[in-house]
Structure 1
Amino acid sequence: MRINVLQHTPNEGPGTIQEWSQDRGHEMYVYHPYQFGNLPTADETDMLIILGGPMSPNDDLTWIKQERVLIQRLLDAHKPIFGACYGAQQIAKTLGYAVKKAPHKEVGWAPVYLKSDLISDIPQKLTALHWHEEMFEVPAQADLLFSSDLVKNQGFVMNGNVIGLQFHFEPTADNVREITVNDDQYPLDHNDLHQNGKEIIQHGVPAENKRVMYRLLDFIANS
């Protein structure tokens, strides 16, 4: 399987998604459309991973609109898609749903709660890394998958082959350090989780997050 990854900032890479791809014997190609403007075609994509980034789907940028054209083609072809943060928002916007300011800015570690039984072997409560202040509307054709204490719309699953998460299960400990040291001012401004960069790094990554990331990817890959 060819896994095509859309990465949107240098400090938010695929993390354990890449480990999953390697462990399952897939080939991964990472694109940086914000820098180079290149995107894969739908025909050469077996699974699409859309990572996070500091931009918004509402930004008037050509490559952001082109991403949604690709997403729509893959939705039409019923190919598996996973979106994290901005990536999940892009999926929702492609489907015609709003992306807007969340009621709370969440930056740091906080629990999320499972809201659907469509995917087995997922704990009812997990601790995830949040790094956002916008949120998606859950598409009508999707099921709410996760919520947090501050923001209801934290994840959705659709048609058995599409998952969008507003938060991050994919970072390793090294990834968390990379995200934080390069964006260390973001947690300090009106953060409703009240965590600073040092606290975010010291928290550590829960071991179960990698297992759950693998479970979600297996679910859509085998749809």
Structure 2
Amino acid sequence: MKPVMIVQFSASEGPGHLGDYLVNEHIPFQVLRIDRGEALPADIHAYSGLAMMGGPMSVNDDLPWIPPLLALIREAVARRIPVIGHCLGGQMLAKAMGGEVTDSRFTEIGWVRAWPEAVPQAAEWLGGHAALDLFQWHYQTFSIPPGAVRILRSEHCANQAYVLDDLHIGFQCHIEMKAEMVREWCGISPEELKGGSDADPAQPMIQSAAEIMHDLDARIATLNQWAGHVYARWAKSLFNPQGMT
């Protein structure tokens, strides 16, 4: 089968558990490193799916690779090639499909409880959980693009995930996390954590490193388990493309 293209925007924000899932399921993939200046393909024809990871930049930044990536996303959606976005990737998908990305009233950094919406897509894609603990690191938020359905919300950031055309899914959170990634991020940006020099003490959803690390392995194991369900649901369409031309 054709490989999945994984777009990586930052050295520290790689495929994580998504990569593990694809390896375990013998699904080929290629990682395209935007952070290393690698060029996007002219079209999506050579790929069975498009996955996008997180990154420190904004979808609204004036960066030369953003317009062609948005065009590539729109082509994938038009050709019914499955797209999945994590944090920045979820914002990219939302903007490409007519949504807006704006500064969030509340910054979320650390573990955040979220609840699936009472819609069939939430049970289908998220596995019927009553609540989920998400790993977050974001300052902006997306609106739900036209035609998509919100499936997940948190108290301080309503739009946590959405599904489009029952093929594509965008997350505000990071479902791809592994324990070593969490530790690395906290080490790279301690100033953003609670008590750090850049942290706003008025923001209730910014955690300290100690809070983030508490019971980390168990939290990651739970996150990986339900992320695996999401990835399996998304990957179904890699094998059964619908309406491709």
* Percent of matched pairs sharing the same residue: 27
- The residue that corresponds to 2:49 in the other structure is 47
State the Cα distance separating 1:36 from its structure 2 match: 1.2
C-alpha contact 2:114 2:154 (8 A) present in aligned 1: yes
Spell out the pairing of 1:1-223 with structure 2 (5 A cutoff).
Answer: 1=1, 2-40=3-41, 41-115=43-117, 116-118=119-121, 119-120=123-124, 121-187=127-193, 188=196, 189-190=199-200, 191-204=203-216, 205-223=219-237
Q: TM-score, normalised by structure 2?
A: 0.86
Q: Distance in 2 between matches of 1:201 and 1:172?
A: 12
C-alpha contact 2:7 2:33 (8 A) present in aligned 1: yes
| Secondary structure at 1:193 match in 2 | coil
Q: Which amino acid aligns with 1:134?
A: Q
State the Cα distance separating 1:201 from its structure 2 match: 2.6
Q: Distance in 2 between matches of 1:194 and 1:15?
A: 23
Q: Distance in 2 between matches of 1:171 and 1:155?
A: 16
Q: TM-score, normalised by structure 1?
A: 0.94
State the Cα distance separating 1:60 from its structure 2 match: 0.8
State the Cα distance separating 1:175 from its structure 2 match: 1.2
Measured at CA, do residues 194 and 93 of structure 1 come closer, stay the same or move farther in structure 2, by a change above 3 Å? Answer: closer
C-alpha contact 2:10 2:34 (8 A) present in aligned 1: no
Q: Distance in 1 between matches of 2:84 and 2:130?
A: 20
Q: Which amino acid aligns with 1:84?
A: H
Q: Distance in 1 between matches of 2:186 and 2:29?
A: 25
Q: How many residues align?
A: 223
C-alpha contact 1:180 1:201 (8 A) present in aligned 2: no
Moved over 6 A (4+): none
State the Cα distance separating 1:203 from its structure 2 match: 4.1
Q: Distance in 2 between matches of 1:160 and 1:100?
A: 25
Q: Distance in 2 between matches of 1:19 and 1:185?
A: 30
State the Cα distance separating 1:43 from its structure 2 match: 0.9
C-alpha contact 2:59 2:88 (8 A) present in aligned 1: yes
Measured at CA, do residues 216 and 61 of structure 1 come closer, stay the same or move farther in structure 2, by a change above 3 Å? Answer: same
State which structure, 1 or 2, has the greater radius of gyration over its C-alpha atoms: 2
Per-residue CA deviations over 1:9-63 (Å, capped at 9, x if unaligned) read 1111111101110111111211111321322440111111110100000001111
CA RMSD of the aligned region, Å? 1.5
